[in-house]
Amino acid sequence: MSVNQFQVVPVEVDISDSTTISDPFSVADFDKGAILTPDTLAGTTLNFQVSTDGIAFFALRDQDNVANFTNITIAVDLVYNLPVELFNYRTAKLVLGTAELADRTFTLFLKG
């Protein structure tokens, strides 16, 4: 996908009922973004898994590699900036701290 620096691309990412991890989504063509949370959530923390090959995923870690880099406290129907370190990778997944009680759709706004 060719994306110009001014284009914002909305991407819907789902977390299924009774799970905490989304399907993978590409961040390869982007360098920043934000996430809109759904209007109902069971979880209140958001983390990320990342991959360079789209197959093996690992927790996004802090600069000292000792803890999850992100542990964003989230609430419903709000927009949060995505960590810029996320865009050092090809593919990512959303990870919630609590399993959802129904399917949830998050909207990413990605910018190249």
Q: Which domains does the chain have, with CATH numbers?
A: 8-111 (2.60.120)
Taking the complete model, does pTM exceed 0.85, yes or no? yes
pLDDT surpassing 70 at residue 23: yes
Report the pLDDT value the prediction gives residue 61, as an integer from 0 to 100. Answer: 81
Report the pLDDT value the prediction gives residue 43, as an integer from 0 to 100. Answer: 85
Interval 91-111: pLDDT, tens: 999 999 999 999 999 999 999
- % of the chain beyond a pLDDT of 90: 79
Contact 40, 100 (CB under 8 A): no
Q: CA torsion angle for 28, 61, 84, 96 (degrees, to 10)?
A: 80
Interval 31-85: pLDDT, tens: 999 999 999 999 899 999 999 999 999 999 866 666 666 688 999 999 999 988 8
Report the pLDDT value the prediction gives residue 71, as an integer from 0 to 100. Answer: 82
